[in-house]
Structure 1
Amino acid sequence: MDQIQHKYVDINGLKLHVAEIGTGDKVVLFLHGFPEIWYSWRYQMIAAAKAGYRTIAIDFRGYGESEIPAEPEKATFKDFVDDVVGILDFLQIPKVFIVGKDFGAQVVYTLAILHPERVLGVVTLGIPFIPAALVGQLYSALPQGFYIMRWMFPGRAEADFGRFDVKTVIKKIYILFSGSTVPIAEENQEIMDLIDSAAPLPSWFKEEDLSAYATLYEKSGFSTPLTVPYRSRPADLGEVAEHVSAPTLLIMGGSDYFYKFPGMEEYLTSGAVKHFVPNCDVTVVEEGSHFVQEQFPDLVNEHIISFLGKH
Structure 2
Amino acid sequence: MEGINHRRLEVNGIAMHIAEKGEGGPVVLMLHGFPELWYSWRHQIIGLAAKGYHAVAPDLRGYGDTDTPSAISSYSIFHLVGDIVALINVLGQEQVFVVGHDWGALVAWHLCLFRPDKVKALVNLSVAYRPRNPTATLVDYFRALYGEEYYVCRFQEPGAVEAQFASANTRQLCKYFLKFCDPGGLFIPKEGLVFPNDESSLPAWLSEEDLNYLTNKFEKTGFTGGLNYYRCLITGNFWPLGLEHR
Question: Cα 1:72–1:167, aligned 2, differ >3 Å: closer, same or farther?
Answer: farther
- Asked if the contact 2:28–2:99 (Cα under 8 Å) also holds between the matched residues in 1, the reply is yes
CA distance in 2, matches of 1:65, 1:95: 25
Deviations 1:114-161 (A, max 9, x none): 101111111011113434329454552112221111112223211210
CA distance in 1, matches of 2:40, 2:94: 25
Q: Which residue of 2 aligns with 1:22?
A: 22
- Asked if the contact 1:110–1:235 (Cα under 8 Å) also holds between the matched residues in 2, the reply is no
- Please provide the CA RMSD for this pair: 2.3
- Asked if the contact 1:131–1:242 (Cα under 8 Å) also holds between the matched residues in 2, the reply is no
- Asked if the contact 1:105–1:127 (Cα under 8 Å) also holds between the matched residues in 2, the reply is yes
CA distance in 1, matches of 2:129, 2:152: 18
TM-score when normalising by structure 1: 0.70
Question: Cα 1:96–1:16, aligned 2, differ >3 Å: closer, same or farther?
Answer: same
Where structure 1 has 5 or more consecutive residues not aligned to the other structure, the ranges are 244-311
Q: Which residue of 2 aligns with 1:161?
A: 165
Matched ranges for 1:57-136 at <5 A? 57-71=57-71, 74-133=74-133, 135=138, 136=140
Q: Which residue of 1 aligns with 2:184?
A: 181
CA distance in 2, matches of 1:119, 1:31: 13
C-alpha deviation, 1:241, in angstroms: 4.4
Deviations 1:243-267 (A, max 9, x none): 3xxxxxxxxxxxxxxxxxxxxxxxx
TM-score when normalising by structure 2: 0.87
- Asked if the contact 2:142–2:150 (Cα under 8 Å) also holds between the matched residues in 1, the reply is no
**Percent identical across equivalent pairs?**
32
Where structure 2 has 5 or more consecutive residues not aligned to the other structure, the ranges are none
For 1:172, give the aligned amino acid.
Answer: Y
For 2:65, give the aligned amino acid.
Answer: E
Q: Which residue of 2 aligns with 1:213?
A: 214
Equivalent residues, number: 236
SS in 1 for 2:198: coil
Question: Cα 1:199–1:232, aligned 2, differ >3 Å: closer, same or farther?
Answer: farther
Matched ranges for 1:1-311 at <5 A? 1-71=1-71, 74-133=74-133, 135=138, 136-176=140-180, 178-185=181-188, 189-190=191-192, 192-193=193-194, 195-200=195-200, 201-228=202-229, 230-233=230-233, 235=238, 241-243=244-246
